[in-house]
Amino acid sequence: MSSYQTIAFYNIENLFDTVDNPNTADDDFLPTSQKRWTLKRYNRKIQKLGFAISKIGRKNDVMPPAIIGLAEVENQLVLNDLANSKALQPYNYKSVHYDSKDERGIDVALLYNAAVFTVISSKTFSINLLDEAGLPDYSRDILLVKGLLNQETINVIVNHWPSRREGLLISEEKRMIASRKTAEIISEIKAENTDAKIIIMGDFNDNPKNKSITSLVKTHQLHNPMLSLMSTIRGSLVFKKEWFLFDQILFTTNFFQSKKGTHSFSSTDIFDADFLKTFKGKLKGNPFRTFIWKFYKGGYSDHFPVYIRLKKN
């Protein structure tokens, strides 16, 4: 009888603790800030995120996700608190995290169920960007984790590419640089094992049909199941009433092979359950956010998680 595992990605919208880090621009998330980021609000967000993660893919599966890539994580402390939240604590979640040089102090990370996934190795890769003055413009590092999922070797690459804040055209080249760096990482993995199984996930700040994604897919003959989810009425985030699918999970095509003892691709979806949505007002149906600008709303995140399900053959 086949078993299934859920692999997810979730941008969890500024998961900061309440302690000032003098080396990063985290001043917005302090009890004394305009946002009044208190311990009570922090703990509330931790419990909400833990609950949301525990429900991803649970419509069909008994267990919560085996692996969850995360974006906008401040440090190891918040990951430990998340793993120990009421909804996740029973499942023995562990995490992989490295501090990057991102000016705001937010990173990517990997949360995993240690009962089904064992980490073999992990490392990060910096994206070399320059600002308008020609000085280093630090962004989130790319995280690579190699591990055993039910005894099968899987490589997971977690991304959070540069945003569109400067404008689509101006910022596009930065995402192309990130895309090329990701392609280099894939090449490095394949140099050791040409048939390596690789999952590439993240908040790419681009849609499936944007150049940064299509060029990556073409370079390494990847499959992007998120193409089938593109819609004008649904996505992983919304901006000015327009839906986007910046959060995606791509993978090597050997996940279509059904060999005994291996995992193969089964399905994909956006996890946009009603409890993750704003339930009334002008923003009804949008992701239920923690903040809208400086105004506290007490929600989960400004993104919905996305996930794929793998079948163990």
pTM to 2 decimal places: 0.96
* 31: its two tokens: 């009890």
DSSP string, 121-143: EEEEE----B-TTSSB---PPEE
Look at the block and give the residue holding tokens 């992007």: 224
CA pair distance 104, 120, nearest whole angstrom: 29
pLDDT score recorded for residue 60 = 63
Dihedral of the alpha carbons of 96, 99, 105, 106, in degrees to the nearest 10:
-30
| Cβ-based neighbour number of residue 176 at 10 Å | 18
* Fold observed for domain 3-312: Deoxyribonuclease I; Chain A (3.60.10)
Per-position pLDDT tens, the chain of length 313: 568 999 999 999 999 999 999 989 899 999 999 999 999 999 999 999 999 999 998 876 678 999 999 999 999 999 999 999 999 999 999 999 999 988 889 999 999 999 999 999 999 999 988 776 666 778 899 999 999 999 999 999 999 999 888 777 778 999 999 999 999 999 999 999 999 999 999 999 999 999 999 999 999 999 999 999 999 999 999 999 999 999 999 999 999 998 998 999 999 999 999 999 999 999 999 999 999 989 999 999 999 999 999 999 8
pLDDT score recorded for residue 72 = 98
Name which of 105, 132, 14, 114 is nearest 67 in CA terms: 114
| b (16+ CB within 10 A) / e for 54-88 | bbbbeeeeebbbbbbbbbbbbbeebbebbbebebb
Look at the block and give the residue holding tokens 């009603």: 274
DSSP bridge pairs for 108: 71
Question: Helices (DSSP H) in 121-279: which residue ranges?
Answer: 168-192, 211-219
pLDDT score recorded for residue 2 = 64
The CA-based angle 29-31-34, given to 5 degrees, is: 65
pLDDT score recorded for residue 168 = 77
CA pair distance 301, 196, nearest whole angstrom: 33
| Cβ-based neighbour number of residue 221 at 10 Å | 8
| Cβ-based neighbour number of residue 21 at 10 Å | 16
pLDDT score recorded for residue 133 = 66
288, 297 Cβ separation under 8 angstroms: yes
CA pair distance 179, 211, nearest whole angstrom: 9
| Cβ-based neighbour number of residue 210 at 10 Å | 18
pLDDT score recorded for residue 19 = 96
129, 136 Cβ separation under 8 angstroms: yes
Tell me which DSSP letter residue 26 carries.
Answer: -
Domain layout of the chain by residue ranges: 3-312
